[in-house]
A = this chain, B = another copy of it.
């Protein structure tokens, strides 16, 4: 019973500190309460307090200390593969209601540049979707999706105003295993400006994504443009750990 009690107390202390950090009660750079303060606050012995601190260290929320004071670290929550690829999923996690207004869905022969980006022969059929995405009913992002017909036929059969195309593809058994993304900035064109209700030329955060099966077949080429005051990317890096994101110099040929 004592063991059980102690384990609960360790969890309780960790939960308290984690919540206080997540809700901003302790800001990054802030010093955590001392061991002595925490033992008093929780009428605890030092064991559970130390165990709770160790848990938070493992979670990357607080500094290692090394005999110095323990401080809250700037922490970026990692995101799962689904969070990254699905606007709907991402909104749900942030307690935001995702929305979509489909502008059009077409099946058409791929013109040259689209065929190249999907690595299919010119003129092969592709399915393209043009949607405005909303956060809590506010225009946020313009989405251009393109699929080879084999995948796109699932999109043609789906009500694209009803929610996540990504989830529908997964439900239909499409193997989406890897994505490659390029992030840059671009001015809103006429279509973007009209949908996002901003002037033409407004700087947008652009994410171009290609998705692959586990065998390396390309099954999606997309272009998402976010209002930068609605969404941004954050990432942490630590010395000694290579980054999975690379800043890449752009070759003129790519423009």
Stretch with Cβ within 8 A of B (4 or more), from A9-17, A44-52, A122-130, A181-189: A181-189
Q: Report yes or no: B238 in contact with A177, Cβ–Cβ below 8 A.
A: yes
Given contacts A186-B228, A245-B234, contact A29 B216 (CB under 8 A): yes
| A247 contacts B by Cβ under 8 Å | yes
How many copies of the chain does the oligomer comprise?
2
A contact residues vs B (CB 8 Å cutoff): 27-29, 62-66, 68-69, 71-74, 76-81, 83-85, 90-91, 94, 96, 119, 135, 176-187, 201-206, 210, 212, 214-218, 228-250, 252, 255
Q: Is the Cβ of B71 less than 8 Å from the Cβ of A236?
A: no
Residues of B within 8 A of A205 (CB): 183-185
Which of A62, A84, A184, A241 has its CB near the most chain B CB atoms (within 10 A)?
A184
Given A183-B183, A241-B81: A229 touches B216 (CB 8 Å cut-off): no
Taking the nearest CB of chain B, how far is it from the CB of A181, in angstroms? 5
Task: State the CA gap A15–B97 with chains docked (Å).
Answer: 50
Are A239 and B178 touching (Cβ within 8 A)?
A: yes
Report whether A232 and B73 are in contact in the complex, using a CB–CB cutoff of 8 Å: no
Report B-chain residues with C-beta under 8 Å of the C-beta of A63. Answer: 214-216
**In contact, B177 and A215 (Cβ under 8 angstroms):** no
Of chain B, the residue at the smallest CB distance from A27 is B119
